[in-house]
Structure 1
Amino acid sequence: MDVFLRDCPTRAVLELIASKWTMLVLVALEDGRPMRFAELRRRLDGVTPKVLTSTLRAIEREGLLTRSVYPTVPPRVEYRLTELGREVGGLLQAITDWSQANIAAIRSAREEYDERAARLAEDAVEPVRP
């Protein structure tokens, strides 16, 4: 398998894992503690119920988490990472830690880039004077 080839099945896995909501779900569950849907939704500020449901189903389909339904009224549903999910969750936690540790440098680089781009745009619209 070669991930650089368009028909490589690994690309579908990478696409799922690279999704912002998938990454955040996997990191939220990475400590091994099961979480209920409402708890995950509160933890993942900004996710809609529809997107969270879709994300959880996709992650479960790939074998990265389990969904346990308990026969209570109302039914209690918990999500927990599988061994495979914990493995990738650890990798994503490292990326999250790196992002948090380097956000100041990234913001600085972004501001410098935007300033350069703005100057170039201004230079491109000003008429050339002889």
Structure 2
Amino acid sequence: MAGGYGITDCPIARALDIVGEKWSLLILRDLFRKGPLRFQGLAEGLPGIAPNTLSARLKLLETQGVIEARLYENHPPRYEYLLTEKGRSLAPVLKALYKWGETCS
């Protein structure tokens, strides 16, 4: 990891810009474990998250191509969220964090 990486050139920094926040990782965890989820289902699995925070994290993850929103009701428009191929490729990272977290107690 030594070398001439600037913060914007560093792959770790770029990855953290997308998933380096607690709620983002927990959203991904729940989508991995439970499959597609609606906003309310995500909120129920993340006690303490404010609705505006959940909405912002979902928008960021969608903008970055990690999740997608799929319309399930037209009036009013309602969506469920699911992992994209890019999101599913984070499985080894989440598994490694899980294993590492087990050793932190």
Superposed displacement of residue 73, structure 1: 4.1
**Which residue pairs with 1:68 in the alignment?**
70
Q: Unaligned regions of 5+ residues in structure 2, if any?
A: none
Q: How does 1:1-130 map to 2 (within 5 A)?
A: 4-8=5-9, 10=11, 11-31=13-33, 33-99=35-101, 101-104=102-105
Cα distance change of structure 1 residues 40 and 32 upon mapping to structure 2, 3 Å threshold: closer
Percent of pairs with identical residues = 30
TM-score (norm 2): 0.81
Q: Which runs of 5+ in 1 are unaligned?
A: 105-130
Q: Distance in 1 between matches of 2:73 and 2:41?
A: 19
Q: How many residues align?
A: 102
Structure 2 CA distance for partners of 1:89 and 1:41, relative to 1, 3 Å: farther
AA of the residue aligned to 2:5: F
Tell me the alpha carbon deviations over residues 52-111 of structure 1, each in whole angstroms, 9 at most, x when there is no partner: 000000000110000011234443310000011011144213312431x2232xxxxxxx
**In the alignment, is the contact (CA less than 8 A) between 1:60 and 1:66 conserved in 2?**
yes
**RMSD of the alignment, in Å?**
2.2
Which consecutive aligned stretches of 4+ in structure 1 deviate over 3 angstroms post-superposition?
Answer: 71-76
* Residues in 2 aligned to 1:82 and 1:64: alpha-carbon distance in whole angstroms: 6
How high is the TM-score relative to the length of structure 1? 0.67
Structure with greater helix percent: 1
Q: Distance in 1 between matches of 2:99 and 2:40?
A: 25
> C-alpha distance in 2, partners of 1:89/1:3?
29
AA paired with 1:79? Answer: Y
For the structure 1 residues 21 and 3, does the alpha-carbon distance in structure 2 shift closer, same or farther, using more than 3 Å as the test?
farther
State the alpha-carbon separation in 2 of the partners of residues 56 and 92 from structure 1. 18
1: CA distance, partners of 2:45 / 2:95: 15
Larger radius of gyration: 1
